[in-house]
Copies of this chain bind each other. A is one copy, B any other.
Amino acid sequence: MKIPVGILGATGSVGQQFIHLLRDHPFFEITALAASERSVGKKYEDVVTWFLPTPMPDFVKEMIVQPCEPTLPCRLVFSGLDTAVAGLLETSFAQAGYQVISNARNHRFDEDVPLVIPEVNSDHLSLIQHQSYGDGCLITNPNCSTIGLTLALKPLLDTFGIEALHVVTLQALSGAGYPGVSSLDILDNVIPYIAGEEEKIRQEPLKILGTLSENHIQPADIRISAQCTRVPVIDGHLECVSIKLKTKSTKEDIIHIWERYRSVVQDMDLPMAPKQPIHYFHNPAYPQPKLHRNLDKGMAVSIGRLQACPVLDYTFTLLSHNTIRGAAGTAILIGEYLTKKNLQI
C-alpha cells in the first residue's frame, strides 16, 4: 500500500520534476495534481507544457487537475507553487491537517518551520512538533543554489569550522521556471543578475547549518558573499567558491572529508538518497553541468578544482542538479525520511 501524495503547482517546472521523480516510487503514489484556476477540471496532458527531456509518464496524462484547495485525496503534499501564491495556500493546507513539503521560499524563515536538507540537518525536523497546525505540518527545502553549496560546506564546518566564503554562481535556465528566460536574452549571452538569489545564498545556509536547541534554531556564524549569474545551460548550477576555514587544513584532508561524508539518510535505504552525497573529481576541467548533473539520480554534489586561494584559504567548484538535488529531489527525500521515521500518518 503506497502513501497517496498530491502535487501543488503540478504544471510548473518543479511540479513536472515531482511527477518525473515520483513515477514508480516505492513509497508514494500521486493521487492528486493541483494547479491554478485556468487548468482546473482539465486533463493534465491538455494543460501542461511538458518540457522535461523524458516523456510525460502515462499515468498523469488523463488525471484531472484539481484546484489548490485542501480537499485533495491525500495527506502529504509536495508544493512546487509559485512564491506569489505559496504563502497562503501552503498555510491553508497545513491548517487543514496536511503535511506540506514546500519548495517555495515563503515560509523558509518562519520561526517554527524547518529548512531542511536531510543529509545536513534532519534533526531540525523536530521543530514541527512546535507548530500550531494540529495534525498538519509545514516543512521547506532550501533554494536550489543553497542546497548544493550547503551540502559541500557541512563536512567542512563539522571538521574545520568556517569563517567566511564567497560564491559566484552560474545558474541553469530551468531554475527560472517556464517559460522563464527568453531565448533572445540568453543565447550568446550570460546575465549577471537573478532577482533575490544572492540574498537567499547569504541567509539560508546560516539557518540550515544552525544549531537547534529546544524549539529554536541559532543560526551559524559565517560571513557569506554571493554573486549570481544566469548561463545558457538547461539544468545544473555551477558554483565557484572561495572559503576561509577556522582551522587550517591540507587539500588532501578536505578532499578526503568530502568523499567520506555520509549522513544518517545514507543508511536508511531511502529511494531518493544518493549513495555518496559528495563526489570529488581530480580532472581539472570537472565538474561540468552536462556531464555530472545526473550523477547518482541527480542527487549528488560534484566538486572539483580545490586549490589554495591567495585571498581566503581555498577555492573550489561545485555542481548540483538544480531541479532535482536543488528542489524536487530534496523535497521527496524529506518525505521519504519522514515516512521511514514514522513521523507522519
**Interchain CB contact under 8 A, B187 and A173:** yes
**Interchain CB contact under 8 A, A227 and B305:** yes
Chain A 205-231 residues near chain B, CB threshold 8 A: 223-225, 227, 229, 231
Chain A 164-202 residues near chain B, CB threshold 8 A: 164-166, 168, 170, 173-174, 178-193, 202
**Interchain CB contact under 8 A, A295 and B55:** yes
**Interchain CB contact under 8 A, B168 and A310:** no
Complex formed: what's the CA distance from A234 to B188 in Å? 6
Pick the contact of A317: B170, B192, B292, B309 (CB < 8 A). Answer: B192
Given contacts A183-B183, A192-B304, 14 further A-B contacts (CB under 8 A): A55-B292, A164-B310, A168-B240, A182-B183, A183-B186, A189-B291, A190-B238, A192-B238, A192-B240, A193-B284, A225-B309, A227-B240, A229-B238, A229-B240
30 contacts between A and B (CB under 8 A): A51-B185, A53-B290, A53-B294, A55-B295, A164-B310, A166-B242, A166-B309, A166-B311, A168-B168, A168-B240, A178-B184, A179-B179, A179-B182, A179-B185, A180-B182, A183-B187, A188-B232, A188-B234, A189-B289, A189-B291, A190-B289, A192-B240, A192-B305, A224-B311, A225-B309, A225-B315, A227-B240, A227-B242, A227-B317, A231-B231
